[in-house]
Amino acid sequence: MATGLPEIVELLGEPRFNWSDPVPWTELEREFGVGLPADFRAIVDAYGSVLVNGQLYLIHPAGHLLHSLGDTIRRDLELWRDEDMVEYLPSAVGSAPGELMPVATATTGEAVFLRVPDDAASPWRVVVQEFDSPAWTLYELTFGEWLLAYLRGRDVTLCVRDRAPDGPSYTFLP
């Protein structure tokens, strides 16, 4: 089980998606030339395409017409490669070492990226960009650690306190 997933389940509630077929991940990773981190995959496999706390969109690669992680990544890579957008991030977007892979967005305008490690022994890290400003923050956390901090109401650029007054929750995306 991925680091942090039991704690995430405890806070967010029992997952109901529980995907086990690796094919959508294999196809996605083949297309982009990089294997996504195990904790990110495990969380998204558990919950599927959901809106967390009415704010954070997590999308599964086995999505349907409206929600597909592959489509989301392709669209976001195109957006963030535009010359008017590159100044808003600490490095280029893409799947090469040191680049940022867009993996989630928020209704409040933030974009969540996973920083591709410089080498196989280094962990993936999270970068959150505030879309309405040139500000970004690198978190020395894995995705699971970052999501857990978010669910616990810690300031990880996305603020949950006003979004989940009754505690963390999720809803399936249509």
Q: What domain range is 116 assigned to? A: 5-154
Say what the pTM is. 0.94
Nearest to 143 by CA among 125, 117, 155: 125
Instruction: Give the pLDDT score at 132.
Output: 76
- What is the C-alpha to C-alpha distance for residues 113 and 101, in angstroms, rounded to an integer? 5
Residue 65 lies in a domain: yes
Residue 70 lies in a domain: yes
List Cα–Cα distances, 118 to 16, 92, 128, in angstroms.
35, 13, 19
Residue 36 lies in a domain: yes
Residue 171 lies in a domain: no
Rg (CA), the chain: 15
Number of domains in the chain: 1
Residue 174 lies in a domain: no
- What is the C-alpha to C-alpha distance for residues 164 and 174, in angstroms, rounded to an integer? 20
Task: Compute the CA torsion angle 113, 39, 125, 58 (nearest 10 deg).
Answer: 20
Residue 169 lies in a domain: no
Residue 173 lies in a domain: no
Beta bridge partner(s), residue 138: 127
Instruction: Give the pLDDT score at 2.
Output: 57
Contacts of residue 21, Cβ cutoff 8 Å, sequence gap at least 6 = 62
- What is the C-alpha to C-alpha distance for residues 34 and 100, in angstroms, rounded to an integer? 12
Strand order in the sheet with 100-106: 136-139, 125-130, 110-115, 100-106, 56-58, 50-52, 170-172
Residue 168 lies in a domain: no
Per-residue pLDDT of the chain (174 residues; tens, 9 = 90+): 456 899 999 999 999 999 999 999 999 999 999 999 999 999 999 999 999 999 999 999 996 667 899 999 999 999 999 988 888 899 999 999 999 999 999 998 899 999 999 998 999 999 999 877 788 999 999 999 999 999 998 989 886 666 778 889 999 998
- What is the C-alpha to C-alpha distance for residues 58 and 171, in angstroms, rounded to an integer? 10
What is the domain-level CATH number for residue 65? Answer: 3.40.1580.10
